[in-house]
Structure 1
């Protein structure tokens, strides 16, 4: 008699593991070559500020910006060349997008202080829209008094999302019948403008925030919202170390944390800093593990000091984790002021923790630390020097100006980027894929930022004071308007592009304001969730 073992077959298990390992090795070989092929997706009429793929299968790419429209690109098509649907309704520049838990809804927010809710489910059912039309929002939220900088949807509930605004309000929205709370109970009023908010992808009560003062916090909705009697410390359960220290400076610097994002499992948190580098944290560790720079080319060759590389000084940027085809997000992408986007491979957290340096306060002040920038919670606290990931996996060309937003497809081997221009760039390691065909090689170089001349000065003044042409219907008008916009940001780059974070973001403990910050830091409640 043949004996069975509850359908367990060692041979099948070994075979499955072998296939999994072989698949990951094949994907890594693709990624090692970077993303040398690309296509311009052209439909917007002005700057494209934000990109977001729908969850799970990544069928839809949502894009939005300064033309007051939200476009949906359908990646279930054989060849994506134009948007499948257009959502209208915003009356200001769109700055944030997110799909709900099951992709039934898409939410947008921006400079008009309003959040709009769109029903995506009507675009894919039998007898629904063919995807080539235009429709408006199904609901609007007018709870903010200033620009909506970020919004993030609940990981499991379509009707629940958080929004963060420059008015300092953090609002929990719950559209379920009978599931809402009063406006007061669902609002946290902060002392600084919020710049980012991100729901944890697994733990439904946990989320992270960032603000213009550089503070990055992990919070709990049960402590943040509801009756005052239930609230505690603004819901903060962890404060991340975001202040910078350099031996040559007698003070610390607190760079603005302009956006943040989790990886798919919520184990890693990436923060985009103004005037500094993208920084990687572990959820359970307040001190940073890695910074992502572009000091080397993807082949490991050092970049000459005279050449431009990764910087972030001029615009609001949003990065993204990804790992298409992998079982973890081991890549991170971000846009840069050097007219490129960068993708870095992130080592395992255990490796990063082992490579981080810790320097006691005594060692910091008694030894020489040339060119060392460390993170410190206070002037007399231990310094933490995270690993520098100086060699990116890829530098993504194809843009003529600053890149602001990066999104990585959840399953297909594509990265999309956008920014000051009206085109979206779709990047790929291969000439074709299930969603695109016959891509072209991306130009190997990017436009050089030229010194200001008379012609550039005239274009800049026309962009600054003259009527914008970015919303004209004629192609010539659109191109002229884009040239003016690029000229405007070129001027900003010349003025602000080389700013030193220790000069523009000084944090001195001797000032009254900074003493208050220290007092607040000493009173923070730290709860270890893991």
Structure 2
């Protein structure tokens, strides 16, 4: 035996390269397993559900807090904002309530670190609430004592259609109004000082604004004329000398064309949303389909329709499917627990929510059809709708995602709002009714126990008789809370459903090419109406809020 050798076994050193390789394999295996479980669960649809009931009128908007999704915020026509704690083992009732809105709430968003909740609505106000107070030691929430707003912003002259918090800066947030204003708010500054905010003034109503989730200077807007733009805060706000091109860095093509018609259609873009990494943008279009765009591509990648049932079979003729002709709706991307938004969800006039699986951008780009102008006019294109910038421009026909992954039942009227939990396999929907529906692929989960199977039957839109017409007029002229703002009145929900049944019967299933005609010279007319820039950063005469 060599005395120079150690008497104990020598342990081999594990190389750093080997450890990294092993960790990478383990990480990839975990990620692959997580994705397999996710798709297996989604393939079953979301057949289990529970009603979350606390509102007393229509619920217009739903949003989960960022990152883990502890809080669900809901609001609507009862002038209240409720917070639901999804850290509970069995969520059934709200954990907090905020007061302050004096009109229907139309939009909500959480700040970058979830400390604040921002709301906007039909009272022209933007309200900011301190969520941290709900979890502060010694603070007990009582339903009869809702918490007031921390700050009130009165810079809009018409309904605030959308609010969006900056993804990185806790004190910055956007608001978009029907007064044609986009406002960049800075909560660190004095709200009464005009120099504390930047305003961009448009010539038509804004319907949406969204801060980019990654790039700190980028945000998107939509308006009632159908224009959807990507903008840069450094070009849109500040002194007039620094503003350029209305802040626009990208304009998305939203006009529609049919071979058989000599004009275009420009659907109203009623809301917009980014996916989690900001690589894709979804646009909700009134009387048309949700349309998906890549961030840097002006032409659409895909449209999401309900042409087929989830099993792939065509929807029978005469049976209602996805449509968006009534009410303001908002969609949502999601991919619970997998770090990538592969789903898009949207509410519908047929009393259901729809969830589509969105393929990768490269796949959608390869499937998109590009039709040169000459070919468009020299061939027949039956039932083909192309997107284009003008009558003489190339047509782009996006891929149609015609088979939804699943449909979400449980409602008796129109579904307006939808949100996908960021980490748990849950989707929430709401609309004309006063309750929220919590959907799940399983009967129990870490946050909800003993869920029930959701009925598959969908209420049919009734045929109207003279008696129904009289009841509708009674609802319209009576003291209906949705119409007259009686926030505390919990009326018979059937009145609300009757009201929107009648609206659907009158306005539903409209042809976008008949409802929204866009002449070739519309763009020229828009260019002549220069956008007005209000330089409140420098104007000493601007009036305080």
TM-score, scaled to structure 2? 0.91
Q: Deviations over 1:161-196 (max 9, x none)?
A: 000000001101001258998359600100110000
Corresponding residue for residue 208 of structure 1? 220
Find 2:314's aligned residue among 302, 315, 325.
302
Corresponding residue for residue 119 of structure 1? 130
Q: How many angstroms apart in 2 are the aligned matches of 1:38 and 1:453?
A: 34
Question: Is 1:159 matched with 2:171?
Answer: yes
Alpha-carbon spacing, 1:91–1:157, altered in 2? closer, same or farther (3 Å): same
Q: Deviations over 1:238-278 (max 9, x none)?
A: 00000000112110000000000000000010000000000
Instruction: Give runs of aligned pairs for residues 365-514 of structure 1, distance below 5 A.
Output: 365-468=377-480, 478-480=490-492, 482-510=493-521, 513-514=522-523
Q: Deviations over 1:214-256 (max 9, x none)?
A: 0000000000000000000110000000000011211000000
Q: How many angstroms apart in 1 are the aligned matches of 2:255 and 2:486?
A: 44
Corresponding residue for residue 115 of structure 2? 104
Q: Secondary structure at the match of 1:444?
A: coil
Corresponding residue for residue 227 of structure 1? 239
TM-score, scaled to structure 1? 0.94
Q: Deviations over 1:74-99 (max 9, x none)?
A: 10111111111110111100001000
Q: How many angstroms apart in 1 are the aligned matches of 2:190 and 2:470?
A: 58
Q: How many angstroms apart in 2 are the aligned matches of 1:410 and 1:228?
A: 40
Corresponding residue for residue 15 of structure 2? 5
Q: Deviations over 1:486-525 (max 9, x none)?
A: 1111111111102100011000115xx443247899xxxx
Corresponding residue for residue 528 of structure 1? none
Aligned length: 516
Segments of 5+ residues of structure 1 without an aligned counterpart are 522-530
Corresponding residue for residue 45 of structure 1? 56
Q: Secondary structure at the match of 2:194?
A: coil
Asked if the contact 2:335/2:343 (under 8 Å) is kept, the reply is yes
Find 2:285's aligned residue among 273, 280, 284.
273
Q: Deviations over 1:293-317 (max 9, x none)?
A: 0010111010012000000011110
Deviation at 1:346, TM superposition (A): 0.2
Alpha-carbon spacing, 1:362–1:155, altered in 2? closer, same or farther (3 Å): same
Asked if the contact 1:462/1:484 (under 8 Å) is kept, the reply is no
Larger radius of gyration: 2
Structure with bigger RCO (C-alpha 8 Å, 6+ apart)? 2
Q: Secondary structure at the match of 2:61?
A: strand
Q: How many angstroms apart in 2 are the aligned matches of 1:447 and 1:455?
A: 20
Alpha-carbon spacing, 1:520–1:146, altered in 2? closer, same or farther (3 Å): closer
Segments of 5+ residues of structure 2 without an aligned counterpart are 1-9, 531-545
Corresponding residue for residue 14 of structure 1? 25
Q: Deviations over 1:11-48 (max 9, x none)?
A: 33212211210121111000001100011111101010
Q: Secondary structure at the match of 1:289?
A: strand
Q: How many angstroms apart in 2 are the aligned matches of 1:412 and 1:151?
A: 25
Q: Deviations over 1:469-491 (max 9, x none)?
A: 568899xx7352x2111111111
Question: Is 1:515 matched with 2:527?
Answer: no
Instruction: Give runs of aligned pairs for residues 313-324 of structure 1, distance below 5 A.
Output: 313-324=325-336
Q: How many angstroms apart in 1 are the aligned matches of 2:404 and 2:119?
A: 31
Alpha-carbon spacing, 1:67–1:383, altered in 2? closer, same or farther (3 Å): same
Q: Deviations over 1:353-406 (max 9, x none)?
A: 000000000000000000000100110000000000000011101111111111
